[in-house]
A = this chain, B = another copy of it.
Amino acid sequence: MKEDSLEIGGVKINCRLFVGTGKFPSHQMMQEVLLAAEAGVTTVALRRVDSGAKADNILDYIPSGCKVMINTSGARTADEAVRIARLARAAGAGNWIKIEVIADNRYLLPDNLETLKATETLVKEGFVVFPYMSPDLSVARRLAECGAAAVMPLGAPIGSNRGLKTKELVAIMIREIKAPIIVDAGLGKPSDACVCMEMGCAAVLVNTAIAVSRNPVDYARAFSQAVQAGRLAYLSGLAESVDEARASSPLTGFLHNED
């Protein structure tokens, strides 16, 4: 599958499983997970720090070859997201940005309009922009047209592990939008990720399901295998289903003397 690697913003990404770094018990565990998953991309957030208690920098634990994307979590408006992106770049974290603008406290659903505004601004400033959004073809098309590197619809609310509950809308986006579609948020089981890849998603982003697992390293490895399986099935062409049965074994003329 060498030739199938994903290229975004001039970077070649070998694994289509993206893994977030939130909620891990330790930087060490997070590192093991990223290695086990062979994650192609990871996400990191920013936060105010008042004193130097925790002296070590999470970025030092990201395996080389795992591309870092800064997410703007905490932003409630396009302006705040833009400000976080600039801070991240100034801090030397590069120019890959996951735009996450959330105004809803219960379901943490993204604000599509503010997300679109932030995308327009940051693309102009030379960022490689990955907007996290609520699946909607009209907004997805605008995001792609204004230069988003990929469009990232949610599968279900962040951290809910409910799986791909937005399949219908995501499938339409895949068919209609040229930009890569990456399902982000809500995937709880490897089979959920497999389904996304079978449909033709370019990648999936998983965090909570792995981070809160009893065995994060194995669970991450399982997701990684499932993503490969789904991608390979997509490239091979999915088997289409039929209503009735089709024999896979010879059923005729055997042992029945009347035959």
Instruction: Please indicate the chain B residues that have their CB under 8 angstroms from the CB of A190 in the complex.
Output: 194, 198, 226, 229-230, 232-233
Contact yes or no, B222 A229, CB < 8 A: yes
Partner of A233, one of B110, B160, B222, B248: B222
Q: In the complex, are the beta carbons of A218 and B232 less than 8 A apart?
A: yes
- A254 — which chain B residues lie within 8 A by C-beta? 46-48, 74, 84
Q: Which residues of A contact B (CB under 8 A)?
A: 20, 22-23, 43, 45-48, 71, 73-76, 80, 83-84, 100, 102-104, 106-114, 116, 134-139, 141-142, 156-163, 165-169, 172, 175-176, 188-191, 194-195, 198, 207-209, 211-215, 218-219, 221-226, 228-230, 232-233, 235-256
B226 near A194 with CB under 8 A, answer yes
> Please, which residue of chain B has its CB at the minimum distance from the CB of A252?
B74
Determine which residue in A20, A138, A248 has the highest number of CB atoms from chain B within 10 A of its CB, and name it.
A248
Assembled-state Cα–Cα distance A242/B239 (Å): 19
Q: Which of B80, B160, B172 contacts A242 (CB 8 A)?
A: B160
Q: Are A83 and B236 in contact (CB under 8 A)?
A: no
A228 cross-chain contacts in B, Cβ below 8 A: 222, 225
**Closest partner residue, chain B, to A100 (CB atom):** B249
Complex Cα distance, B207 from A30, in Å, reads 39
Taking a contact as CB atoms under 8 Å apart, the answer to whether B80 and A109 are in contact is no
Least CB distance from A168 to B in Å reads 4
- CB neighbours of A232 from chain B (8 A): 190, 218-219, 221-222, 225
Residues of B within 8 A of A256 (CB): 76, 80
Cα A140 to Cα B195 with chains together (Å): 29
Is A108's CB under 8 angstroms from B245's CB? yes
17 residue pairs from A and B, CB less than 8 Å apart? A48-B254, A73-B250, A73-B251, A74-B252, A107-B176, A107-B244, A113-B113, A161-B241, A208-B246, A213-B236, A213-B239, A218-B232, A219-B239, A221-B232, A222-B233, A225-B226, A229-B229
Closest chain B CB from A186 CB (angstroms): 9
Whole-angstrom distance between the alpha carbons of A255 and B213 in the complex?
Answer: 31
Residue of B nearest to A111 (CB): B138
